[in-house]
Homo-oligomer: A and B are copies of this chain.
């Protein structure tokens, strides 16, 4: 059904550079995520101006927290390898996964507003992040127009993404939500050089459900339905997209 060779980790660096990366200087200009991450859109000669900014890395073990809601805000984090979820909670225990972040994506943007984090960021696999001290980012982006613009675009993109999730949560049914989710994951993995059709989910059914506003049983049932309809091959967390066109049709259904 699936080859026994384990699929590469979602957030890992594609194979070519994997072995040598650890020895390289920590620097955006060396990083093969520069097409996705904060340097997005910067001219290659400008990227090295970021190297002073991003000087530290941090490791987070699977299940560990990069930060918790309430923690003081010191900096943003760029996922280097691994996979995270962010979730918000109310005092009474209600919990909502607000996003899943993979290599090249930024964490911590919510914290700028109140100088402390407003959500938890939990690693779903052993991960590594680049630390971007916020005051230095502000300073550098004052003298470096392209960085300023790039950073604004990243924040704006997060707002647009959130609006998409609101659309999903507010007006789609279970099948549409899950199809949207799978296609989104697929697209992001593809942008990182992985197969868009063979995915390994890093999160539980419950976490998917929380993100999509569904219960875990509904997620499981919907996966089973997609399986029996021939849209997906589902084997626990290994998913293979068999009929992307039909998945897309589900997303762009005509409700009226």
Chain A interface (Cβ < 8 Å from any Cβ of B): 88, 90-96, 98, 109-114, 118-119, 138, 141-143, 145, 148-149, 152-153, 155-160, 162-167, 169-172, 210-213, 252-256
Contacts and interface: CB of A to CB of B under 8 A. Distances in A.
Contacts of A148: 138, 141-142
A166 to B, nearest CB: 5
Given A92-B253, A98-B163, A112-B152, 11 more contacts: A92-B255, A93-B256, A110-B163, A113-B156, A113-B160, A142-B142, A152-B155, A155-B156, A155-B159, A169-B213, A170-B213
Most buried by B among A111, A118, A210, A212: A118
Nearest to A137: B152
B156 A162 contact: no
B163 A118 contact: yes
B165 A166 contact: yes
Contacts of A112: 152-153, 155-156
The 4 closest A-B pairs by CB, nearest first: A112-B156, A162-B162, A169-B169, A170-B213
Number of copies: 2
A225 to B, nearest CB: 21
A165 to B, nearest CB: 6
Contacts of A119: 163
A95 B171 contact: yes
Contacts of A164: 88
Contacts of A211: 170
A151 to B, nearest CB: 8
Nearest to A151: B152
B172 A170 contact: no
B110 A156 contact: yes
